[in-house]
């Protein structure tokens, strides 16, 4: 795998509290954002149709988004433009209502007056109860993945501080992208849950790499850290570049889900860099030089 020179960082200039201050402050802000959203809307992150229920129409028309919104009695939850094979634009329109037949009739009556609209596809509706059940299943999957990751960390290192450092970093790697989703208005869906699950894997990989170099390989603490950073930062930055390219390309071609996954992974990987080489490393250094090892 190709690599690049990681800039030298003099950790000796900073105390453990100084290293941990930045990632902990970012984590605190992220928790405040999620708490505020929960108090204001009832959910910490906006829920997509997969979890909240609703209906979806795919319409091909020359009408503008404003004209499409005005064509329905109910205000659409979202209107997403996608590519179409001819000069007309294709839109995916989502509603909170599950009355798909009524929505289809409104589209045909109000958008086809000039003969310029087609209902390309009628997506099946998602009931509110089914969406809630899907939401519980997805959150359970995230919880099981996180608990499993935590158990693996404790089994690998069998000591509290190095293991809890991995768990705290992984927790922050999840919370920060969730807060970003709230601020950016990215809905929680089955696709974005998959991105969050991937972040758990990325996080545990980089943290275990650092812990393994520092605790199990011979050499000075800072030299071991340098070797871990050379490999870990190369892997993470390469993945960030790939996710950014995917997100931008998907956004240009109107593929909203892939764009959301790409930007969530990019933000999560950036958070992972910060948490691994500031928060996790500060806990490891305290454990190596000041803590009581068992």
Task: Tell me the chain's radius of gyration from C-alpha atoms.
Answer: 23
pLDDT at 248 over 60: yes
Residue-level pLDDT at 1: 46
pLDDT band with cut points at 50, 70 and 90 for residue 119: low
pLDDT at 127 over 70: no
Q: Which residue has the higher pLDDT, 273 or 64?
A: 273
- pLDDT tens, residue by residue, 60-83: 777 777 777 777 777 777 777 776
Phi, psi of 86 (to 5 degrees): -130, -160
Average pLDDT over residues 10-18: 89
On whether the CB atoms of residues 79 and 68 are closer than 8 A, the answer is: yes
Share of the chain above pLDDT 90, in %: 35
pLDDT at 245 over 50: yes
How is residue 226 written in tokens?
A: 């340098």
Which residues neighbour 227 within 8 Å (Cβ) at sequence distance 6 or greater? 213, 217, 219
Residue-level pLDDT at 294: 44
What's the pTM? 0.81
CA 136 distance to own-chain centroid:
18
pLDDT at 94 over 80: no
CA-nearest of 247, 191, 262, 202 to 49 is 191
pLDDT band with cut points at 50, 70 and 90 for residue 129: low
What the chain holds in terms of domains, given with CATH numbers, is: 11-48+129-289 (1.20.1640.10), 54-125 (3.30.70)
On whether the CB atoms of residues 37 and 184 are closer than 8 A, the answer is: no
Pairing of strands 78-82, 117-126: unpaired
On whether the CB atoms of residues 192 and 260 are closer than 8 A, the answer is: yes
DSSP letter assigned to residue 76: P
Average pLDDT over residues 158-173: 90
Dist CA 160 CA 63 (whole Å): 61
Judged by average pLDDT, the poorest of 31-40, 84-93, 95-104 is: 84-93
Judged by average pLDDT, the poorest of 37-46, 94-103, 199-208 is: 94-103
pLDDT band with cut points at 50, 70 and 90 for residue 128: low
On whether the CB atoms of residues 7 and 277 are closer than 8 A, the answer is: no
How is residue 159 written in tokens?
A: 């000591």
DSSP string of 163-185, one letter each residue: HHHHHHHHHHHHHHHHHHHHHHT
Residue-level pLDDT at 4: 59
Q: How many helices (H) and strands (E) does the chain have?
A: 10, 4
How is residue 131 written in tokens?
A: 């969406």
pLDDT averaged over every residue in the chain:
82
Average pLDDT over residues 133-162: 84
- pLDDT tens, residue by residue, 175-227: 999 999 999 989 888 888 989 999 998 888 899 999 999 888 777 888 989 99
pLDDT at 13 over 60: yes
Q: Measured in Å, how far apart are the chain's first and last C-alpha atoms? A: 36
Residue-level pLDDT at 118: 59
C-alpha distances in Å from residue 237, one per residue of 161, 173, 222, 267 = 27, 15, 21, 11
On whether the CB atoms of residues 221 and 227 are closer than 8 A, the answer is: no
Q: Which residue has the higher pLDDT, 31 or 188?
A: 31
On whether the CB atoms of residues 201 and 269 are closer than 8 A, the answer is: no
């Amino acid at each position: 795998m190709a690599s690049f020179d990681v800039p030298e960082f003099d950790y000796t200039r900073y105390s453990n509290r100084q290293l941990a201050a930045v990632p902990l402050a970012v984590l605190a802000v992220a928790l405040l954002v999620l708490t505020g959203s929960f108090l204001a809307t009832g959910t910490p992150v906006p829920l997509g149709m997969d979890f909240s229920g609703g209906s979806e129409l795919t319409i091909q028309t020359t009408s503008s988004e404003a004209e499409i919104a005005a064509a329905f009695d109910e205000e659409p939850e979202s209107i997403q433009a996608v590519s179409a094979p001819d000069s007309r634009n294709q839109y995916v329109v989502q509603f909170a209502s599950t009355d798909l037949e009524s929505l289809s009739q409104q589209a045909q009556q109000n958008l086809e007056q000039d003969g310029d609209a087609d209902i390309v596809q009628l997506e099946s509706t998602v009931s509110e109860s089914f969406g809630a059940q899907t939401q519980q299943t997805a959150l359970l999957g995230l919880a099981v993945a996180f608990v499993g990751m935590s158990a693996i960390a404790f089994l690998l290192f069998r000591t509290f501080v190095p293991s809890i450092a991995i768990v705290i970093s992984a927790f922050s790697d999840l919370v920060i992208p969730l807060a970003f989703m709230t601020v950016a208005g990215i809905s929680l869906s089955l696709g974005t849950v998959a991105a969050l699950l991937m972040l758990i894997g990325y996080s545990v990989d980089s943290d275990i790499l650092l812990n393994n170099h520092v605790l199990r390989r011979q050499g000075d603490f800072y030299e071991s850290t340098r070797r871990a950073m050379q490999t870990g930062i190369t892997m993470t930055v390469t993945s960030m570049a790939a996710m950014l390219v995917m997100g931008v390309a998907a956004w240009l071609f109107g593929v909203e889900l892939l764009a959301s996954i790409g930007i969530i992974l990019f933000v999560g990987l950036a958070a992972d860099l910060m948490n691994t080489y500031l928060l996790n490393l500060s806990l490891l250094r305290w454990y190596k030089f000041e803590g009581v090892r068992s």
